[in-house]
């Protein structure tokens, strides 16, 4: 079914709708003429900014609320056809020091969202996960891993309820809140040394639009219990620094500061144990359920006909280190994404 048919005339709830991804989603969804989009988050100032950005579009509703508050979610989900769950606490270092807060939002909040979807019999719900959930090594990643599992596996414990729970997993969006490009550029402008954690570090490149398209695919193709992962190019952080220095015609120094607590050298999207239950499907990988008896249900015609189940001969794991592109190609990509 065309994406238009999934959204046109429908009521959509976006938790974290005032955040970086949320605002991109609102903009995209409005193109498909939804009945209404409920933007759900806590801070009234962020709501106000969204209101200004979309010039009081009458299809938008601004719901102040906290995903920790189940009753609030229940009310927010009245009559909703599609839920995108993007709300989360996501600063890695903050989460290391505020573990309980992280659990309350990123784990208990997800449970609330799932229970409210089931109670309201919402047809489809998408969880926005992250590469940090794959073989997690920090509190944020572990909380998103649990959130992802709550979402995908709820698909199989829902009884007669109809909600299709599915997830997407992607890495850092370069221009999102707290991203590295503006940070490096500020150092270049003030001629302070650019802090580099590790010269080996690599990252995938994903634009906000590509993150949105991944979610649209999960809406279109999701049959429940899977995690959609985009196939993407990657770059070395040292190459990004060179590109930014070139842009500003600067010869700012680089200071190696060592890897930060909870940080990985490479982004990992699919780990070794997930590979054998992953389909290569068009420009996506689709990781199917970890519960073996349900995997059969997921080997549905779509992924079989248009995709192929991976083996360890194809890859041991899917990480940014294996997708690194030459510096010139990266520069062109950044320019194409208007990041430079
Ligand atoms: N940005 C990336 O590079 C990236 C990469 C992979 C995955 N993700 C995932 O994508 C999602 C969105 O990320 P983002 O970059 O858009 O983050 P963001 O800009 O920090 O936005 C987070 C949103 O969540 C809301 N929120 C936080 N706690 C909440 C709560 N308890 N109840 C209700 N709303 C709450 C925030 O608004 P209030 O603070 O006003 O409540 C805000 O609207 C997250 O789940 C993140 O894990 C992001």
Ligand 1 site, CB within 6 A: 15-16, 18-22, 41-43, 46, 66-68, 86-90, 105, 109, 128, 130, 144, 170-173, 176-177
The CATH number covering residue 142 comes to 3.40.50.720
What are the tens digits of pLDDT across the range 303-327? 778 889 999 999 999 999 999 999 9
Q: Which domain holds residue 76?
A: 3-172+205-231+268-319
Kindly state whether residue 238 falls inside one of the protein's structural domains: no
Query: What is the residue with the minimal CA distance to atom 23 of ligand 1?
Result: 16
pLDDT of residue 293: 65
Say whether 132 is catalytic. Answer: yes
Bridge partner list, 61: 38
Backbone angles phi, psi at 173, to 5 degrees: -85, 125
Kindly state whether residue 327 falls inside one of the protein's structural domains: no
Kindly state whether residue 326 falls inside one of the protein's structural domains: no
Residue 206 has pLDDT above 80, yes or no: yes
Distance (Å, rounded) from C-alpha 229 to C-alpha 289? 14
User: Best substitution site from 27, 66, 84, 90 to test ligand 1's pocket, by max atoms within 8 Å of Cβ?
Assistant: 90
Query: What is the residue with the minimal CA distance to atom 15 of ligand 1?
Result: 20
Q: How far away, in angstroms, is 271 Cα from ligand 1 center? A: 24
Q: How far away, in angstroms, is 229 Cα from ligand 1 center? A: 19
What are the tens digits of pLDDT across the range 121-169? 999 999 999 999 999 999 999 999 999 999 999 998 999 999 999 999 9
DSSP assignment of 37-106, as one string? Answer: EEEEES-HHHHHHHHHHTTT-TTEEEEE--TT-HHHHHHHTTT-SEEEE------HHHHHH-HHHHHIII
In this structure, of 217-221, 229-233, 258-262, the range with the lowest mean pLDDT score is 258-262
Percent of the residues in the chain that have a pLDDT greater than 70, as a whole number: 96
- The 10 Å CB-count burial string (b at 16+, else e) for 133-142 is bbbbebbbbb
pLDDT of residue 337: 84
Q: How far away, in angstroms, is 87 Cα from ligand 1 center? A: 4
In this structure, of 31-40, 56-65, 287-296, the range with the lowest mean pLDDT score is 287-296
Judge whether 67 and 109 are in contact, CB under 8 Å. Answer: yes
**Average pLDDT over all residues of the chain:** 94
- Which ligand 1 atom is the nearest neighbour of the CA of 66? 32
What are the tens digits of pLDDT across the range 184-201? 999 999 999 999 999 999
Residue 261 has pLDDT above 90, yes or no: no
- Which ligand 1 atom is the nearest neighbour of the CA of 129? 7
Alpha-carbon torsion, ordered 265, 204, 135, 109, to 10 deg: 120
Cα distances (angstroms) measured from residue 151 to each of 18, 161, 291: 22, 14, 13
pLDDT of residue 178: 61
Rg (CA), the chain: 20
Q: How far away, in angstroms, is 192 Cα from ligand 1 center? A: 30
Mean pLDDT, residues 77-101: 96
Distance (Å, rounded) from C-alpha 207 to C-alpha 338? 9
Query: What is the residue with the minimal CA distance to atom 22 of ligand 1?
Result: 19
- Which ligand 1 atom is the nearest neighbour of the CA of 42? 41
Kindly state whether residue 71 falls inside one of the protein's structural domains: yes
> Of 10, 90, 132, 144, which residue is the catalytic one?
132
251: which 2 tokens? 């010869």
229: which 2 tokens? 């992962």
Residue 254 has pLDDT above 90, yes or no: yes
Kindly state whether residue 276 falls inside one of the protein's structural domains: yes
The SS3 call for residue 151 is helix
Q: How far away, in angstroms, is 162 Cα from ligand 1 center? A: 26
Structurally, the chain folds into a number of domains equal to 1
Strand order in the sheet with 36-41: 60-64, 36-41, 11-15, 82-85, 124-130, 164-170, 227-230, 284-287, 278-281, 307-309
Q: Where are the beta strands (DSSP E) in 239-296?
A: 254-256, 268-270, 278-281, 284-287
Kindly state whether residue 330 falls inside one of the protein's structural domains: no
306: which 2 tokens? 């248009």
Kindly state whether residue 273 falls inside one of the protein's structural domains: yes
How many residues make up the chain in this entry? 340
Kindly state whether residue 200 falls inside one of the protein's structural domains: no
């Amino acid at each position: 079914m065309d994406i238009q048919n999934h959204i046109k005339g429908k009521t959509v709830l976006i938790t974290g709708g005032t955040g970086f991804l949320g605002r991109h989603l609102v903009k995209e969804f409005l193109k498909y003429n939804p009945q209404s989009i409920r933007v759900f988050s806590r801070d009234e100032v962020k709501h106000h900014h969204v209101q200004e950005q979309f010039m009081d579009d009458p299809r938008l509703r601004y719901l102040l609320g906290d995903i920790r508050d189940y009753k609030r979610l229940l009310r927010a989900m009245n009559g909703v056809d599609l839920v995108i769950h993007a709300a989360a606490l996501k600063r890695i270092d903050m989460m290391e020091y505020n573990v309980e807060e992280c659990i309350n939002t990123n784990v208990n909040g997800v449970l609330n969202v799932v229970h409210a979807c089931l109670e309201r019999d919402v047809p489809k719900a998408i969880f926005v996960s992250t590469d940090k959930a794959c073989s997690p090594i920090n509190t944020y990643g572990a909380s998103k891993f649990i959130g992802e599992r709550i979402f995908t596996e709820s698909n199989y414990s829902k009884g007669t309820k109809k909600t299709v729970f599915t997830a997407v997993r992607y890495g850092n969006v370069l221009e999102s809140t707290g991203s590295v490009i503006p940070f490096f550029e500020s150092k270049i402008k003030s001629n302070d040394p650019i802090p580099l954690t590790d010269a080996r570090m690599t990252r995938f490149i994903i634009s906000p639009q590509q993150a949105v398209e991944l979610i649209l695919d999960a809406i279109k193709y999701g049959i429940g219990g899977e995690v959609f992962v985009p196939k993407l190019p990657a770059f070395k952080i040292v190459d990004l620094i060179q590109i930014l220095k070139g842009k500003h015609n600067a010869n700012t120094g680089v200071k190696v500061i060592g890897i930060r607590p909870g940080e990985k050298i490479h982004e990992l999207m699919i780990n070794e144990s997930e590979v054998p239950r992953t389909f290569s499907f068009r420009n996506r990988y689709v990781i199917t359920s970890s519960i073996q008896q349900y995997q059969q249900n997921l080997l549905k015609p779509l992924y079989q006909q248009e995709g192929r189940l991976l083996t360890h001969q194809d890859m041991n794991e899917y990480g940014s280190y294996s997708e690194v592109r030459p510096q010139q190609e990266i520069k062109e990509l950044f320019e194409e994404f208007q990041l430079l």
